[in-house]
Amino acid sequence: MRNTMTRRMLLKVMGAAGLTTLAGPFLGGMPALGQGSGGGRLPNIVLINADDLGYGDLGCYGSGAVKTPNIDALATGGMRFTDFYSCSPVCSPSRFGLLTGRYPIRIGLHAALFPSHMPLKNRLTNRFYETLGEAGLLDMKKKGYAVGIPTEEVTLAELLKERGYKTGMVGKWHLGDENPYLPTDNGFDTFFGVPYSNDMVPFPLYRDEEIIEDDIADQGTLTKRYTEEALKFIDENHEDPFFFYFAHTFPHIPLFASEDFRGTSAGGLYGDTVEEVDWSVGEVTKKLDELGLSDNTIVIFTSDNGPWYEGSPGDLRGGKGTSYEGGFRVPMIVKWPGVTAPGSVCEEMANNMDIFPTLAAAVGAVPPDDREIDGMDITGLLAGADNTPHEVFYFYHYDKVQGIRLGDWKYLRKLNVYDWPSNLQIKGPWLFNMKTDPQERYDLTETHPDIADKLEGMIVEWEKHMAVE
């Protein structure tokens, strides 16, 4: 296990933050590594990210078919968000935003990354992107395509590692499958998991930088194997502050569950996978209890985007790959003892890019100041405030801004009404009131043309701003 920060990583983090030394009163009098502002131990952090889990797939979000008692217990013991967004409705861009606090468009990350050695990659994926460009859905000349998380980006793991955290990851990475794009190149001491989605081939299993299985034979074992590794990491690192990122493979398709869960859910095989993820969450929280860590551990549960072919967006419209609420709005639960009130609900707008600056603030770390950080510190919301720090949120479809939310208003430009790119059913623009019509069914552009014009103008100004970068 590698528990020390490399010189390259130290220079990367400190340089990005405009700092020149770790000695003495660096970071404006920040407490010593491993200590909080009051001299106590820094909080542990467990960040759990499901893959393609819908807004309506959890009991605490209204599911009747799928039982999730352990995740529901997190909500009972902490805060549940109703209006929380992913920064993208697809995998790789969402994960970039989660780990860096930045819109993925800033690095040209528009879509899910494909394996670097995928058979027929050049003929298949390049033509896929060309098709998007021909349809006007992707600007082929804008910034090129990211093939992994750029070396110069500072991840949450790197930021926390600089504060003395032991960092580990289990599960799906999907931000590059070769050096220097692997988790261990980006702040994680350890990694056990897969480089991308489980519908991509080959589907290898990694331990750190080493491939230990060229193509996983039985995906039904993954959730249990991930969980075993998670418990091992917590056991081995519980005497120090730790950050553990648990990125589940499921319920992304194809669906697999272990024998203990297969056929047990009223939600079919999809429900089986979600209920096994719920079991895993229960095992992790049980371990925290056993080690006496629960009162000093921030536990976050969320999803990378909305559901795909199965799963439920609740009463929201759309799903994965769309700019409707069902594609972007995801479950978000935070249990932070001493900050989140048990059983509390936040109805304010927030997004997964906020996790980066919020956790940075929680541990006294300084995000890099040489780049735009789009996420905002939402500690106030977590503590019960009722005013989001966000004025707006932009909905990206590949590299195009397709919508904007301002307060209760959401405006969508002309868009495809089906998942993924399509030349059929182009409709819009639309204006919706999220307070009275979260299902996005009643267009108010003719009722409030001034608001529609204002929001279109804000998108145009944002595009100008991004084009300059």
Query: Residue 122's CB: how many other CB atoms inside 10 A?
Result: 8
| Dist CA 159 CA 163 (whole Å) | 7
- For residue 173, CA distances in Å to 95, 98, 155, 332, 355 come to 8, 12, 13, 19, 17
Q: What is the DSSP string of 205-240?
A: EEETTEEEESS-S-GGGHHHHHHHHHHHHHHHHTTS
Residue 447 burial class via C-beta count within 10 angstroms: exposed 0-12, middle 13-18, buried 19 and up: exposed
**Phi then psi for 217, rounded to 5 degrees?**
-75, -35
Q: At what angle do helices 355-363 and 91-100 cross, to 10 degrees?
A: 20
| Dist CA 17 CA 357 (whole Å) | 13
Cα torsion angle, 402, 387, 359, 372, sign: positive
| Dist CA 235 CA 13 (whole Å) | 28
End-to-end CA distance of the chain: 39
Nearest of 302, 242, 271, 364 to residue 79 by alpha carbon:
302
By annotation, the residues acting in catalysis are 91, 174
- Kindly report the CA angle at 149 between 82 and 388, in degrees rounded to 5? 25
328's tokens: 């972007």
67's tokens: 């039982």
Q: At residue 307, what is the residue type? A: P
Q: Which residue shows structure tokens 């970039």?
A: 96
Nearest of 336, 412, 342, 410 to residue 378 by alpha carbon:
336
Q: Which residue shows structure tokens 């003395």?
A: 164
Nearest of 233, 243, 252 to residue 356 by alpha carbon:
243
Nearest of 172, 214, 222 to residue 197 by alpha carbon:
172
